[in-house]
Every structure is written in C-alpha cells, then in structure tokens.
C-alpha cells in the first residue's frame, strides 16, 4: 500500500496558485487513471480516493487543512508503521518551473507543508515528489528564487504566468511518471530515472 498526499490550500481562492501545483498534479493522475471521484473524509481531514497501479494499492489524500497544518491530516491518514510508503507531492521554490525531482529523507526545504508533516510524523523518511515553481530569468535562463518573507509568500500564492500555463501538461506528465515509478519500482528507481 502507498499513501499519496498532495499539498496545497483548500478553496477556489487558491485553486490555480503555484502553492497548489501538488493538487493539480494529482488531479491529472486521477484523470489519467480514471480513478473514482474524490470523497470528503472527516476522519482524515480531507478529500480522498484510491486505486491500483501495477497491482499495488494506493490511497490519495488532499488535506483540507491549510498548507501550514498539512501534518495533522497526514498523521491521521498514514499508519505509523507505514510512513516509508508515504509519497508527498508538493511545490518547490528551489527548482525551476518544469523540473520534477524525487527525494527521500530530505528536510523541509522551506516548504511549510512538508515541515508540518515532518513535525507531526516525527520523521523525514518518506518520499517527496518536488515540482519546480521558480521562474527562470529571461536574460540568463537561471532560476530566480523570490526573496524570503513577504515577496516569497506572495509569489507562491499567485497563479502561473501565461507562458508557464502551456507547460503545465508536461509538468503533470513528468510528475505522474515519477509517482508511477515510485509505486511500481521504488523510490531509488524513480530517483535514477527522473532526477
């Protein structure tokens, strides 16, 4: 059994923001595999569905807590002895838009949702599928990370630029592939193939 958790903020106000790219990517996976529609679960503080991939069962949770409190929903969703089967899909400001990376056992990297999960589970030994949201400089092609504090918080709560929206389909395809490899072959295989 694998447990997939998308990070984001609930409500229409945040639906298309960079911080919610984890939700968007799992929407794509659900559509691609024609999984059952999400249902509300008060027990797990979110919306959930489930399915099979390569004969392996997985469950999906979209916490309806806000990003900074994601850990409280995840702690209810994932049994303590199964934390190694947790896959968290989230935005990453340290990766350029279009990049998707798989990691295991890393720190929060400034993502408050991941920080909350680490704190509530008492471990960082779970899989993360990191989706880049940082813009690239038009002039240098290098990643431009917004300054910390206010500018960064405002940036992650904004929608993608028009030129980025056309690339989201490819981002979701890469994310889906990474998740599928983690489930069917393991995290190490996904890191070797996707990073």
pTM value surpassing 0.85: yes
Q: Report the alpha-carbon distance of residue 141 to residue 152 in Å, rounded.
A: 20
Q: Report the alpha-carbon distance of residue 181 to residue 129 in Å, rounded.
A: 11
Count of other CB atoms within 10 angstroms of residue 183: 22
Give the pLDDT band (50/70/90) at residue 97. very high
The catalytic site residues sit at 19
Average pLDDT, integer, range 37-49: 95
Kindly report, residue by residue over 149-178, the tens digit of the pLDDT: 668 888 899 999 998 999 999 999 999 999
Domains of the chain: 2-194 (3.40.50.1470)
Helix (H) or strand (E) holding 36: none
Pairing of strands 46-53, 56-63: antiparallel
In the numeric block, the tokens 């069917």 are attached to: 184
Residue 38 near residue 62, CB atoms below 8 Å: yes
Q: Report the alpha-carbon distance of residue 146 to residue 135 in Å, rounded.
A: 9
Closest CA to 129 of 44, 53, 24, 32: 24
Residue 148 has what pLDDT? 66
Checking if the pLDDT of 69 tops 80, the result is yes
């Amino acid at each position: 059994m694998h447990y997939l958790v998308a990070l984001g903020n609930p409500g229409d106000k945040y639906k298309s923001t960079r911080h919610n790219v984890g939700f968007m990517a799992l929407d794509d996976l659900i559509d691609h595999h024609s999984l059952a529609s999400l249902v509300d679960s008060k027990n797990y503080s979110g919306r959930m569905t489930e399915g099979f991939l390569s004969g392996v069962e997985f469950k999906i949770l979209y916490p309806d807590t806000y990003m900074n409190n994601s850990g409280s929903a995840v702690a209810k969703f994932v049994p303590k002895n199964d934390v190694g089967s947790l896959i968290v899909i989230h935005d990453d400001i340290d990766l350029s838009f279009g990049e998707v990376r798989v990691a295991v056992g890393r720190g929060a990297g400034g993502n408050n949702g991941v920080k909350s999960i680490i704190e509530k589970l008492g471990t960082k030994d779970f899989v993360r599928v990191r989706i880049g949201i940082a813009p690239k400089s038009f002039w240098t092609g290098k990643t431009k990370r917004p300054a910390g504090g206010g500018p960064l918080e405002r940036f992650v709560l904004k929608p993608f630029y028009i030129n980025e929206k056309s690339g989201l389909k490819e981002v979701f395809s890469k994310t889906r592939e990474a998740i599928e490899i983690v489930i069917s072959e393991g995290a190490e295989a996904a890191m070797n193939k996707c990073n």
